[in-house]
Amino acid sequence: MTATLVNEAGPRPPAASPGASRARRSRRRARVIALLFVLPALLLLGALVVYPVLFSVGRSFFDASGTRFVGGDNYTEMFRDPATLKAIRNTTIWVVVAPALLTGLGLILAVLVEKVRWATAFKLLLFMPMAVSFLAAGIIFRLAYDEDPDKGVLNAAAVSVHDMFQDTSAYPTARARDGQGGLTKASDGAYRTTGTVSPGQSVALGLVGVLPADLPDGTEPAYEAARRTAGADELSGVVYLDFTPGGGGKQGVVDRRENGLPGMKVEAVRAGESVATTTTASDGSFRFDGLDDGAYTVRLPASNFAAPYEGISWLGPTLVTPAIIGAYLWIWTGFAMVLIGAGLSALPRDSLEAARMDGANEWQIFRRITVPLLAPVLTVVFITLVINVMKVFDLVYIIAPGPVQEDATVLATQMWLVSFGGGNNQGLGSALGVLLLLLVIPAMVFNVRRFKRSQR
Partner 1 sequence: MMMRRRTTLLTGCTALVLALGATACGGDPVSAGGGDKALDGQTVTVAGVWTGTEQKNFQKVLDAFTEKTGAKTTFVSTGDNVSTVVGSKIEGGNAPDVVMVPQVGVLKQFAQKGWLKPLSATAQKSVDANFAPVWKNYGSVDDTLYGLYFKAAHKSTVWYSPDALTQAGVEPPKSYDDLLKAGRTVSDSGLAAFSVAGQDGWTLTDWFENVYLSQAGPEKYDALATHQLKWTDASVVKALTTLGELFKDKQLIAGGQKGALNTDFPGSVEKVFGPKPEAGMVYEGDFVAGVAKDQFGRKIGEDANFFPFPAVGAGKPPVVSGGDAAVVLKDGKSQKAGMALLEYLATPEAAAVWAEAGGFLSPNKNVDLASYGDDVTRETAKSLVAAGDSVRFDMSDQAPAAFGGTKGAGEWKLLQDFLRDPSDPKGTAAKLEAAAAKAYEGQG
Positions touching partner 1 (CB under 8 A) are 64-65, 83, 135, 139, 142-143, 147-148, 173, 175, 177, 208-212, 214, 242-248, 398, 400-406, 409, 417, 421-425
Residue with Cβ nearer partner 1 (135 or 186)? 135
Question: Cα(161)–Cα(143) distance, rounded to whole angstroms?
Answer: 19
Residue with Cβ nearer partner 1 (377 or 418)? 418
Are 255 and 204 in contact by the 8 Å Cβ rule? The answer is no
Helix/strand/coil (H, E, C) string of 228-267?
A: CCCCCCCEEEEEEECCCCCCCCCCCCCCCCCEECCCCEEE
Nearest of 317, 353, 428, 442 to residue 66 by alpha carbon: 428
Output the smallest distance, CB 316 to partner 1, in A: 9
Name residues whose C-beta falls within 8 Å of residue 362's C-beta, 6 or more positions apart in sequence. none
Output the smallest distance, CB 178 to partner 1, in A: 10
Question: Cα(54)–Cα(434) distance, rounded to whole angstroms?
Answer: 10
Residue with Cβ nearer partner 1 (200 or 401)? 401
Nearest of 195, 163, 198, 155 to residue 179 by alpha carbon: 195
Output the smallest distance, CB 162 to partner 1, in A: 18
Residue with Cβ nearer partner 1 (83 or 158)? 83
Output the smallest distance, CB 88 to partner 1, in A: 17
Residue with Cβ nearer partner 1 (14 or 248)? 248
The dihedral over CA atoms of 237, 241, 244, 247, expressed in degrees to the nearest 10, equals: 130
Which H or E element spans position 287?
Answer: strand 285-288
Q: What is the CA radius of gyration of the chain?
A: 37
Residue with Cβ nearer partner 1 (340 or 408)? 408
Output the smallest distance, CB 153 to partner 1, in A: 15
Output the smallest distance, CB 374 to partner 1, in A: 39
Are 226 and 259 in contact by the 8 Å Cβ rule? The answer is no
In this structure, the number of other CB atoms found within 10 A of the CB of residue 451 comes to: 11
How far CA 307 is from CA of 102, 347, 371, in Å, comes to 38, 57, 50
Residue with Cβ nearer partner 1 (240 or 288)? 240
Q: Where are the alpha helices (DSSP H) in 306-402?
A: 320-345, 349-357, 362-364, 371-390, 394-399
Output the smallest distance, CB 403 to partner 1, in A: 4
How far CA 124 is from CA of 103, 105, 131, 333, in Å, comes to 18, 16, 11, 12
Output the smallest distance, CB 157 to partner 1, in A: 18
Output the smallest distance, CB 44 to partner 1, in A: 24
Nearest of 54, 100, 134, 21 to residue 386 by alpha carbon: 100
Output the smallest distance, CB 51 to partner 1, in A: 20
